[in-house]
Amino acid sequence: MNNLKRYLALISISGVLACQSGGGAKQEEKVFKLGAVLPLTGPAAAPGNEMNNAVLLAVDEWNSSNKLSGYKVTLDSKDDAADPKQAVSSAHALMSDSLVAAVVAHLNSGCFLPASRIYHENGVAAMSGATTNPEITQQGYPEIFRLCTTDLVQGELTVPYLKEAGYTKIAIIHDKTQYGQGLAQVVKDACPKSGIEVLSFDGINVGDKDFKAILTKIKDQTPDVIYFGGMYDEAGLIVKQMRDLGMTQQFVSDDGAFGQDTIDAGGVATEGAMFTMVGKPLTEMPQVAEFLTKYEKRFGVKVQNYGPYAYDVANILLTAISKVISRIGGVDKAAIVQELKQMEYDGVVGHTAFDEKGDTKNKVITIYRVQEGKFVPLKTMGM
Amino acid sequence: MSLSAFFQQLVNGLTLGGMYALVALGYTMVYGIIELINFAHGDIFMLGAFLGLMVLNFLQGWGLPTGFALTAAFGVSMLLTALIGAGIERIAYKPLRHSPRITLLLSAIGVSILIQNIVMLTCSRDLQPFPRAISGGMTIRGVVLEYIQILIASSSLLLMLGLDLLVHKTRIGQAMRAIAQDLEASQMMGINVNQVIRVTFMVGSALAAAGGIMNGLYYGGIKFDMGFLVGIKAFTAAVLGGIGSLRGAMLGGFILGLCETIVVALLSAWGLTRAFDYKDVIAFAILIIVLIFMPSGLLGEHLPEKV
């Protein structure tokens, strides 16, 4: 009886093994994966899910259009929860799967910076549509690309605009993250050139809700404009608590706070606040209308911020992969990286080509003002 | 620092402290009785805020006056949260009452994660705007004092006094103190231990719910992970004041609130340029210093009977 059991076990195990190896060999011929590591939960879950949805839209379109020479692509989304530690472990998990041909990478600079090394070590192209910290592409990793302009561009274009608008004394707050503090530092460094006096430069904690102590101190210093480098919830709460404290100064923030969540958190207090966002306004982007309708039809919500960027990132990666497939008949990771280097792509956010560092050559930002609960573009600036 | 800024920081600190104190009371009550650090308390606080928001939105949708809707929101949310608190105690803590402390603690952390994820998945991941049902305030010589701030600070004080009365002047309070001293002996004396512990959890949870709604009203938004940071801070306040002591929780809350505001502002005015960056470092350094010299907290020793 015992022997019989053992034989049966052996037979069934070998059967399973046979199935797996057979199945695996077949799959490798026809399927590859597009990885995505985005904040699907946590403080940046709203824009993270928008980006993930946009990528999903692109992947489905490529599959139904049959432009991948018989290949099918599946999306493998991992969560980084806007947390650098989680980002690194998700990147490792993704890289352990050899089917992953390229990665739509991260929303947060703090996540992409440590994870970029992992993509580099595995030779897999990773492109972000939203991380703006300059350091990311300064590491010299050829696999790292991004579609958004950096904080150097954003910070240095914001300051002259503030000068032009007549502001002379600025108080700067940042959220101590790679992104928020990095951008705030660029703004701080750019101020003397434009003749704006920096009264203070203070950090707050992400997740805190009470900023009245710091704002009371700033109120005492009588600036005429307050700049915040950080993200939605904190931006909304800061502008609201400013108004609660009777502070009437102009509030200016960044692309990380450009979204409905800021207005949800800050309510009517956000009226008149200004925000910078990378690229042109959605209304001036070529071909964007089609994407917006498709997105709204499929997901039932409106695109708020980085959806178009994620959509283009996915399309650029898939275009590069399809070119590699048609050229060499298979998915080769190094060839994909080379293909991206010389890519010229016209997508929903405009014309994209990459410089030697992997940054987009399309260096434009737009400044918006909140009017009646909506972001209204004021001016588009480029360098 | 100008005088108006000084008093404004005082108001900021007292409001923040009142918020911490409200949550700290719940921690300290439960700890006082069964020596459990109820890590789910911060999430019960969050749950109370979400339930309150639902009632508020529902009633305001019917066009009912704000005052009524708000009272109902407090009432319904506190009641439901009290029941949920009792349920959590029954399912997650009671079966483990005789297990090692660490098992109970792990169970509490499990409940915390569970509540957070349920709210995140069923309600929303995003910040939910909370109607500013109590708005307005007054400005005295440049110092802004909002009505909601007065409500937060005064209600935490009143609730502390009420709890103090409950614990020291009522029969069930007497039973709580007896259980705090010796659970098994109280059982032998015929005290219905299960019932008393259940009531403790219900009262603590209802308080947390009230705190959660006030938090939403004050900051104008609530989020599924809002309980974590408040929970940690309130727990700190309870330890600072002497965990197990109601007055200590109150005192610890206000001290922590003042440390994060006026103390930091003073340090900054005296030339510590990055004082605000180090807000939490300063607050927690004060906590450590106090605990070195008074290991059982500020009021821990003066009140030998816990609760």
Tokens 């939105």 — which residue? B57
Same domain membership, residue A226 and residue A129: no
Q: What is the pLDDT of residue A6?
A: 57
| Inter-residue contact A192 to A160 (CB < 8 Å) | no
B212 in any annotated domain? yes
For residue B276, is it within any domain? Answer: yes
Same-domain check for residues A272 and A198: yes
Answer whether residue A74 is part of any domain: yes
**Is residue A199 included in any domain, yes or no?**
yes
Judgement on whether residues A143 and A185 belong to the same structural domain of the protein: no
- Residues A184, A139 share a domain: no
Based on the fold, state whether residues A178 and A209 are members of the same structural domain.
yes
Strand spans (E) along B215-271: 221-222
B8 found inside a domain: yes
Nearest CA in chain A to B267: A217
CATH classification of the domain holding B263: 1.10.3470
| pLDDT (tens digit per residue) in B166-195 | 988 999 999 998 988 888 899 899 899 999
- Are A134 and A70 part of one and the same domain? yes
Domain hosting B26: range is 3-293
- What's the total number of domains in chain B? 1
Name residue B261's amino acid: T
Does A5 reside within a domain?
no
pLDDT interval class at A350 (50, 70, 90): confident
Residue A196 lies inside a defined structural domain of this protein: yes
Instruction: Output the pLDDT for position A56.
Output: 95
Partner-chain contact B125 A245, CB within 8 Å: no
B141 falls in which pLDDT band (50, 70, 90)? confident
Sign of CA dihedral A253, A254, A259, A262: negative
Whether residue A240 lies within 8 A of chain B, CB to CB, comes out as yes
Instruction: Work out the average pLDDT over A154-181.
Output: 92
In this predicted structure, the answer to whether residue A7 has a pLDDT above a threshold of 70 is: no
The candidate with the shortest Cα–Cα distance to A235, out of A215, A212, A214, A265, is A265
Helix (H) or strand (E) holding B254: helix B246-258
A274-278, strands of its sheet edge to edge: A197-203, A169-174, A225-229, A250-253, A274-278, A364-371, A374-382
Taking CB atoms and an 8 Å limit, are B220 and A261 in contact across chains? no
Does A377 share its domain with A262? yes
* Residue B302 is assigned to a structural domain of this protein: no
A197 and A217 in one domain? Answer: yes
Give chain A's length.
383
Query: What's the total number of domains in chain A?
Result: 2
Residue of A nearest to B230 (CA): A208
In this structure, are A261 and A125 located in the same domain? no
Nearest by CB: A203 against B15, B146, B276: B276
Amino acid A234: pLDDT? 93
The SS3 assignment for A131 reads coil
Q: Are residues A98 and A198 in the same domain?
A: no
Query: How far is residue B128 CA from its own chain's centroid?
Result: 20
Tell me the CATH number at A313.
3.40.50.2300
> Would A274 be classed as within a structural domain?
yes
Q: Which residue of B has its CA nearest to A204?
A: B277
Q: Which residues of B touch A217 (CB under 8 A)?
A: 1, 5, 9, 265, 268-269, 276
Residue B276's Cα: distance from chain center in Å?
24
Asked if residue A19 belongs to a domain, the reply is no
CB B126 within 8 A of CB A45: yes
> Model confidence over B284-298: pLDDT tens digits?
888 888 888 888 888
Parent domain of A160: 152-278+366-382
On whether both A213 and A310 belong to a single domain, the answer is no
User: Are A337 and A308 part of one and the same domain?
Assistant: yes
ipTM: 0.85
